[in-house]
Structure 1
């Protein structure tokens, strides 16, 4: 039996937190007097810890053979870390709180991804039907807060974010463990998996894709507000992107029957090159921004689903937790950190348009790496 609703509930609250935190926390930091560099540093701590924590916890999970205790512990410690924002607005205190939150919060998702695929046991095409609830949670949070923050003080964001972390903790307590070992699977050392050119190409390309999204996740809401859009419009723009993502997740079982994972990824990178150029240079036009947000279905939805499926196929059951953790660390961790930090220092130096153009260049670099390093003959192609 697949624990569909328990896994779906976890994804719902996990991404509801992202929907509350990622689009609006930079606005909160700006409201309490943080400059662009400080905002970039604080927000990039999420990426720094996603580079370190998942690998550590993934190694531990593969070593001890269980995942749910780590998922539950990380949820509890995430709540404790975030509570520091309710205590102090000092930059040093916020730095510590963000570091603690990010270290424990980022540890869980790769393990939950592994648990999900273990429960699916050969029905990987159904992953999108579970993961889509994360997108629904994101929409509920980002759209609801867009309207609420037009009337409520920005500090209300802290309490709403804390509530979503509480939801993560409650769901983590209900997720059952799953068998992680295939009894007849031949043992392939992790080093051999990592030596495969398609594996290295995918991981490098994922680094560039996350770097390309750096300015989006740190400054997109600020970018829209500075161009005269209301916070409710900001919420709708984020929602539109995630609606496109949902449609892609729901259609992935059909897409993977028609197109290869490599083909889906190549299209996603091409879409990213276009998307960030449009956001940077077309912010005065609502129509251009709407089209750019629809491309989120490709630049995140199709990209993430295809990348996770490739990692699942290549790393096998013995290295699943470490494989998903490595994917998260290299992409959302290292790539997100570099993209976020660079955007923080270019935002006021060369301006938003050129900052988003740098995102397009990152996506182009990822496209080149992917196409040259992952040849069509590969088994997951």
Structure 2
């Protein structure tokens, strides 16, 4: 990997996903400790995703205008750190809403730009992407397990200090990544709008939205759901870690999978695993082995899906459209899909119950799988 800033890119992913490892399982518990209702928690957690609807496009435009993607990542990292400090200043719903909204606006800028930066540094060596991205999963695992045990013996307020330290790590590594020149050659005769209106592209983007919608209840209420059914926080941390450990494994075998299976078939398999996973969580929470197996399926529902999606975006949007394609994918899938999933799960959790909420997640994954099978072409990543 000569000339590739492997460890600097990997270090950024490590701290970025370590923050997610602190947020995804435990932030809802912190919000619950402040006395917020399930609907309020759903609304607050959705802000992390809602800002991805418009923020990536805004930051992507700024990066294109400046011609310096890394500089924009540095600005976002510093601003996100400062915004997070607002949590130490108040605990009312309105204040937490404002701080989460501002922090999320800066937070959502980094990842799509980092994906574009990483793929630019890789060039033709896209098979190395999984190795670099796997360090993000390592950071997630260490954070989710360590924090789970730590919170067994300390007050939940300590979560704020842990996340603050991890955000400093993001800021430090953002200044270690070298800028990569944006090659301004044509991506063909099609505009971004024309590419997005192609049936297979529309099907892929809508299916991606449905996949992240399906995960909305999981990311928002999974920890609360398990704790309410008698699981201790340390075990909950290990359950989250189990999913991401399996995700790391899939990152390393994805080059082999992509040589033997088309991206379409990998995506179909990941959606099928999502259907099974959410049915298991909703119907079998009383049996720990069911929940452990559901977490193993994270390797497919996130790991395989994510890398296959990155390669599909790389195929659909290349050249001068690469960063825009990443922003569009992030906005539609993680932004709109994730936000709708989090907010709707807040409603259904109270009114219809956890079982029905996860059944809706499985139904959304089924719809996404049908779209991929119906409209997408079975091309490879080559």
TM-score tier by shorter-chain length is over 0.9
Distance 1:197 1:186 in 2: 18
1:187: Cα distance to partner? 5.2
2:122 matched residue in structure 1: 120
Question: How large is the Cα RMSD of the aligned pairs?
Answer: 1.3
1:8 matched residue in structure 2: 10
Larger deviation, residues 235-244 vs 177-186: 177-186
1:219 matched residue in structure 2: 221
Spell out the pairing of 1:349-364 with structure 2 (5 A cutoff): 349-364=351-366
Q: What are the Cα deviations for residues 126-180 of structure 1, in whole angstroms up to 9, with x where unaligned?
A: 0000000000000010000010000010000011011111110111111111122
> What SS does the corresponding residue of 2:152 show, helix, strand or coil?
helix
1:51: Cα distance to partner? 1.0
2:97 matched residue in structure 1: 95
1:252 matched residue in structure 2: 254
Spell out the pairing of 1:342-381 with structure 2 (5 A cutoff): 342-376=344-378
| Contact 1:61 1:321 (C-alpha < 8 Å) held by counterparts | no
Distance 2:194 2:59 in 1: 21
1:199: Cα distance to partner? 1.2
Distance 1:55 1:63 in 2: 12
1:183: Cα distance to partner? 4.7
Distance 2:257 2:267 in 1: 12
| Contact 1:62 1:319 (C-alpha < 8 Å) held by counterparts | no
Distance 2:133 2:323 in 1: 17
Distance 2:267 2:65 in 1: 31
Runs of 5+ unmatched residues, structure 2? none
Match of 1:175 among 164, 174, 177: 177
Larger deviation, residues 7-16 vs 308-317: 308-317
For the structure 1 residues 79 and 184, does the alpha-carbon distance in structure 2 shift closer, same or farther, using more than 3 Å as the test? closer
Q: Does residue 1:297 correspond to 2:326, yes or no?
A: no
For the structure 1 residues 240 and 379, does the alpha-carbon distance in structure 2 shift closer, same or farther, using more than 3 Å as the test? closer
Distance 2:130 2:314 in 1: 14
1:283 matched residue in structure 2: 285
Match of 2:241 among 223, 239, 242: 239
| Contact 2:185 2:320 (C-alpha < 8 Å) held by counterparts | no
> What SS does the corresponding residue of 2:54 show, helix, strand or coil?
helix
Larger deviation, residues 191-200 vs 96-105: 191-200
What TM-score, normalized to structure 2?
Answer: 0.97
Aligned residues: 380
Match of 1:150 among 148, 152, 166: 152
Q: What are the Cα deviations for residues 303-340 of structure 1, in whole angstroms up to 9, with x where unaligned?
A: 00000111012101201111111111111110000110
What TM-score, normalized to structure 1?
Answer: 0.97
Spell out the pairing of 1:309-348 with structure 2 (5 A cutoff): 309-348=311-350
Spell out the pairing of 1:7-156 with structure 2 (5 A cutoff): 7-156=9-158
Distance 1:319 1:63 in 2: 14
| Contact 1:62 1:318 (C-alpha < 8 Å) held by counterparts | no
Distance 2:146 2:39 in 1: 28
Distance 1:124 1:245 in 2: 18
Match of 2:166 among 164, 171, 195: 164
Larger deviation, residues 109-118 vs 190-199: 190-199
Distance 2:188 2:80 in 1: 37
Distance 1:183 1:92 in 2: 47
| Contact 1:272 1:295 (C-alpha < 8 Å) held by counterparts | yes
Distance 2:189 2:64 in 1: 14
| Contact 2:217 2:342 (C-alpha < 8 Å) held by counterparts | yes
Q: What are the Cα deviations for residues 203-251 of structure 1, in whole angstroms up to 9, with x where unaligned?
A: 1100000000000000000010001000000000000000110000011
> What SS does the corresponding residue of 1:163 show, helix, strand or coil?
helix
